Each structure stands twice: as C-alpha cells, then as structure tokens.
Structure 1
C-alpha cells in the first residue's frame, strides 16, 4: 500500500534549505532532501509540523507559496511513496535542525540536480517552483519580490536546458517571456536583462549570471531599505503613512521602528490590509480606508511608498492612490519618500497597468469605467527617491536609465 509523505521546501531570498539525512533515519541516510515526513491526515498541516520539528520554523516564520500536485515514486527497497510537495517562504535563515539531519545548507535550488538526493527531489521542486505564468499572474507581491522570482525562473530553466543539451535560443525565449511578464515593473525586466547581458551565450552561463544577479539584487533591496530608514530617521519621522505592498518599505519600517504607521487599504486588491496585519505585532498600526488618505497623511510625519518604476524624467509609478497621498503630503507640508532599489529605474517610460473594469461596475448603463491599478506620480511631488546608493538626483536617474538601455541590447 502506498505511503503518503510530505516534502517541504523552505525558501529565503533565492535559496532553499537542503537537509542531509542522518544515519539515524529509517530511509535514505546520507542523502540530501527537503523537510520531509509521513503525511498523517492533512498534508499541509503535517508539512508545518515537520517544519517546526526539523528546522524550528513556526507558522509565524513561514508563508505557504504553493502546494504541488501529489505524485508517486516507486522504490524497490521502500515501496511506493505518494509525495505531497510544498514551497514556503521563510523570514529567517537560522534553522535549528534536529536529530534527523546531519547537516543543512541554504543553496540555489539547482544544486538539487547536482547532489545525491532522495528519489525525485527535483520533481518535487519542479512541482512548486516559480514559472513565467506564476510571475505574470502574481498580483499579491511587490515588484522587488517578483524580480527575484523571475531570476529564479531564468536560473532554473537555464540549468534544465544545460542538462538536456538545450541551446541559447531556448533560454533566450524564456528571458523574453519573463521580461514581458510584468510590463510595468521595470525591476523585473531590468534584472532579467542584466543577467542575460552578463552571460556568455550558453545555458550554463545564464544560470551562473542569474545566480549572481539575484544575490546582488537581494543585497541591493536590503540596503535600499536601510537607506530609506536612515533618511526618515534624519527627518525625525515618528509617524508614517504608507499604502500598497512593498518589501523594501516593509523592511525600512521594521528597521526604523516608528511610533505609528497608518496603512491605506489600497484598492483595488486591498493588499494594504495584509501589510497592516503583518506590521501589527511590531508597532502601533492603523488601517484606514482610501477615502481617508488626505486626513491620514496630514496626521503623519512622512509618506513612505515603494515604486514599480522610476521613469527617466523622475516620474514614479506605484499603486493607484499614491498621487493623492503625495498631493495631500504637499498640502500638509510633509515629505513623500520613495524607497526602492536602483534597478527600478526604467530605460524608458513603460505602460501603466489598468485594472478590470468589471471589478468596479457590472451594470449596463452606457458609461466608461476606469479602474486603474497603478499610476504615474509626477516627480515634482516626490521629495526623495532613496536607493541602496542613497538619494537619486535627476542626473543619476538619467545615467541609470541609459545603463538599463544597454542591458536590454542583449536581445
């Protein structure tokens, strides 16, 4: 009779946690695997139990990203396993393993293809790893996060192509699809183009370049957040208004530790609700409706937002509602600060994403409906664009835009 088991991959940044099974376990000692165990009852609940037992990561540390379809693995020594794969994002990297693991390492997932692993470990990862479609369809995460997922896809597809004798054209097609996956998110396109421009024209070269760019990108995002926190601290900011979801803003707020944060609900999508919930344990948080933004901004010391793109002329693209917040900030005499990595500077003006009209109005009256998701905020309303290199002036923005046009020339 088949035995149900869970295999959970824990991801931090662009690395996953691999465990080398100890000599005390009943199957596959010495081999590398994910967090695993017999599935008794609900597989997701069991995956979370195994995470707590084998890594010390609890529900507050991890977020379920994807659950893959179960599949069978036939082993002449152990019978048939029914594997239930899971992928979790983890906020920490300090795994505390138990007796089941002799060692553990954070590695790019492509290392799975090069190690002595439990059976079909890559198949488990393949069932939950990011794809072009998952990047294009993700409306929950910020653009910095999605740029890392795009580099994950490029790295993984390049590794598979290298192992299967694929050529440059095969990987280049994936890169083009990724660059087009989020047309308004400059950082997704820029980081894919940067990896392709740096690589030699081989799949293995692209894999290596994607890994290097991803590592530098994650570091840049962290330093941009620290730089934004320093900027706000220098302004004596104690109460911050924000909207939408930005990993850089979230990290900046956690480092700044202001006395109060006000978060707009951020329609359409309402991702501000989740942002407020995530911050609630760390500071005094107020969730407010979008219609209350002017009053909320007037009671704050600064507006802090992320960006999906910074255009060469200094205009900033972010979630709809940002322009209203910036106008309210100018009226109230408080600064509007944009926190983002320099890779969000776009080579040219990009399209600004529209929303689904039916989500706003499904009636049959003869009227036009506008339900934008993002908008371009004039640069004159922005007091500072803060990146890992500090505050960008107009000359720096222009120079970065030119560099990104050079990256795009690989095509």
Structure 2
C-alpha cells in the first residue's frame, strides 16, 4: 500500500476522471430546467444521479461491495467519491445560476407561439410591418346593443398597421386596444390568423358624459361669458356669488346654437295632409353641429366640479369665467425625443425567483446585460427615482425601464 499522500493524489486523479461526465450532466440539467421552466432541481437528486453515473463510468459503485471496503484502495476510492460529489454539486449550482441570469430569448412557450406568415410582412426601411384587415362583418358582443352601420363600416374599412416582429397574441391585444381607444368601444375582441386577417366583435360606446367624469366629480351646466377658444379639457375657475370654483370643461355650446330657426319652424308646421307618423318618418331632422371650441360670448358650459361644490354652483349666478394656464409639459418633449431614438418605456413587476429578486441593480448589471436603464423603482408603495446600484430589488417591486422594444422584451422575460 502506498503512503497516505500518494493515496490522496490517486483519489483526486480518479475523482477528476470519473467526475467530469457527471458534473457536465449536472450542469446541463441545472441550466436547462432553470432557463426554460424557471424550476430548480433539488441538489440531492442531482448528486445522487452524479454518483450513479460516476459508478457506471469509473467503477465507484464498487464502494458498495463489502469485500472492497476494507481493502487497501479504500482511501483513494473515498477521496474520489468526495471529489465527484463536490464537482457534481458545484456544476449543478453554476448551471442553475447561469440559467437564471441569462436573458431568456428562447422558451418552450415560443415554440408553440403563433406567428405571422412571411408573405404578409412588408419592409418599410429596415423594419417589417404588417397590415391587418378585418375579414367579414364586425360582429356584435352578446349582452350589448348592436353597432351602428356607420361604426361597423368604419372598423371594417380602416387601415391598421403594426410591427411584424410580434407574435399573434400580442398583435391581437394591440389591435383590440387600438380599436377600443379610437372608437371608445365598450368591449372588443379580436382573433387573428397567420395571414393577418382579423375577426372582430365589438360593442358600441355605452355613454358619453359619464365616461369623461372622474370619480368624485359632478357635472354642472352654467351660462356665462366664455372666452373664445375654450374647449373640452380646459381647466377653469368660475367666480359665482363671491365664491371661486375650480372646474374642468366637459363641453361648450355657443349661444347661437340654441337659437331656433323661424324658417325651419314654419316648414315643420306645413304638412301634405298625411298623418303625423308619416311626416315624422319623411322629415329629415338636421344633425346638431358639434362645436369643438367656443366662439366666445354667452355660452352654456358643462363643467366637472367637486361633489360638494356642485350644489352651490347650480344655485349661484356666475360672475366670471377664468381659464387657467396649464403651462408647458416638458416631460412630453423628453418622451418624444426618446421615441425618435427608438426607445420605449415599460412598467414591470419583479416576479419571485427572477433574475432581480433579492439582488441589487449593481449586482444584476442591468444596463450591461440587457441594454436597458431602470428609471424608477417602487418598493412598499413608495417610488425611488434614479435608483443607485446598491438599491436592492425584491419580488413584487415595480420598475420603470427604458430601452428598445427588443431589449425590453428580453428584460421582461427574465424579470417579470
């Protein structure tokens, strides 16, 4: 039997030879499961598998043979076994860590994700876009009133273009949001096929004024001398009976619009001897002309005021109607500059077990790995602007990140 140092060296040598394959398999299992599914395999299971593979690869299962446990090779085999155990456990931990930190640009969900056909993609500059067309008639949503023919026709014949690098699920969501925003629809559902043909079901707007009225506000109509150019959304101060009321303009009707036309009244009184029902059916009622802004002078204005001030304002006589300046919104100029540079904003919620859960921004190297910048973090209901590198992120925190659309998508897959 060789001396103890020689036996230890033999054991290390045997452990490295027989432990290479188990360590490689342990790393692959740890990385693969964490990268594709986000699941961490228990270390004990991986170590057991590694020892079994090492036994098949290098004969370490001989340790279970009682005839060899008392042999002169016991020291080197024991050392080799310890080397295999440590190498397997270390490789599994490193694979799991790499799978958690590496941006997941590929996942099992993407294998089954529906995508557009290449035939419908149009190249505009260096980017592809797709033109979505509505196939067939726009259906009604059960439980809602039917759409008007004009609105149905406008949706069917509209031109809708979107980026072509989005999966169909994302395109459906964006198309539905755009229809809901542009036509103020109460509800809408969209289904797209690979040829960018959309099947749309929509519900008409359910209300006008009530949807523009914020919570806790009441709509009050007053007659006053209104400055020229006042329109919906302007912030005003109404002085009535010595009190001042801060309000938001919901709509303005010029005084001339309320005057009746004598000629139209006379014409309406003339009939051809038919019944009242026939005259009502044949007569074409003039459509009221929408006035986006006030022409000035005495007008009827509908205002949104606080609930407590509504009762007092209704019974008061308006003395003055003052428009307040809202100033210049510099933040919109900044957003416009970022959009011109191809940057976008996105709000993300950190998921438990994600790449940022429990780590600081500096440790995660967000800017270097994902090419995005974190502008703000909300933890425990409080926002921190321009967080430093030592700011620690926990699961459930909200992030405001800026970057290109592709980088933000990759960042969201790892973090949110």
Query: Under a length normalisation based on structure 2, what TM-score does the superposition of the two structures give?
Result: 0.21
Q: Greater Rg, structure 1 or structure 2?
A: 2
TM norm structure 1: 0.21
